Amino acid sequence: MRLERKQRYTPVTDKDRRCGDIIYHSFRGTTIYILRGKNGDMLIDTGLFHVRRAVEKWAKRYNIKYIFITHAHADHDWNARHFKKVFGAKLLLNRKDFALRSRFRPMSPTRNKYRLKCAQLNISGSLFPSPKYRVDVAIKSEGSRLLEKLGFDGEFVFLPGHTPGMTALLCGDTLYCGDAFTALFYEPEIPPYAIDVKTMKKSLEKILELDPKWLACGHGLPVKLSDAKKVINDYLNKHE
């Protein structure tokens, strides 16, 4: 069954953990990315405690000067304080997610099949907040101005819903989208949970409008938008 499911979208199997210009590390359900820059490289998300050692060893191959947190959930920012110290990096986060660093907000399931898992997530999220960390650069607006100052070619894109400050990076033909979309269980999938499901649906529409070639998801391997479009459109049509 799992082999059949893997065939549902274009898989990424590059031994060097690359997909075109996408550099990633996928380990135990979490996918973390590195963006190369003119003045240093950027680590995109940090994962939970169980991936710390593997990610740190991998990321030390690069010149990490910045850490960008797509959104303040523990599976994305748990290691933020540790990696910030290890690499001497500046940390970036959307200011609308600042409050989530210390206070988890309950999530809602995006489909009925996720109700039980969502209830479990809400309990664990409230009991196990990430280690406290300080943000160096608050992301306040979309666009390329801030990224250009830091030495990167790309722009910030706001995709709220999963969290209030869910933020993606659009670089070339790749959208580093955090949990605005996922590739769970080896196939394209709508995020199982959202703080605001209605707003999340608008962000899915925005992804279609942006029309990148690749979606670099926070869970699962990078997936082509051409493989994700049907999943997004089916969900939007069924949940108008």
- The domains of the chain, with CATH numbers, are 2-98+106-238 (3.60.15.10)
- pTM, rounded to two decimals: 0.91
Residue closest to 200 by CA, chosen among 190, 211, 208, 210: 190
Q: Residues in the chain, how many? A: 240
Residue closest to 2 by CA, chosen among 182, 185, 190: 185
**Residue showing tokens 């722009």:** 155
Helix axes of 80-87 and 52-59: crossing angle, nearest 10 degrees = 30
Per the CB < 8 A criterion, the answer to whether 152 and 35 are in contact is: yes
pLDDT tens digits for the chain (240 residues)? 233 344 343 434 333 455 558 999 988 788 999 999 999 999 999 999 999 999 999 999 999 999 999 999 999 999 999 999 999 999 999 999 999 998 999 999 999 999 999 999 999 999 889 999 999 999 999 999 999 999 999 999 999 999 999 999 999 999 999 999 999 877 899 999 999 999 999 999 999 999 999 999 999 999 999 999 999 999 999 987
Q: How far is it, in rounded angstroms, from Cα 36 to Cα 222?
A: 17
Q: What torsion do the CA atoms of 18, 19, 25, 29 make, to the nearest 10 degrees?
A: -150
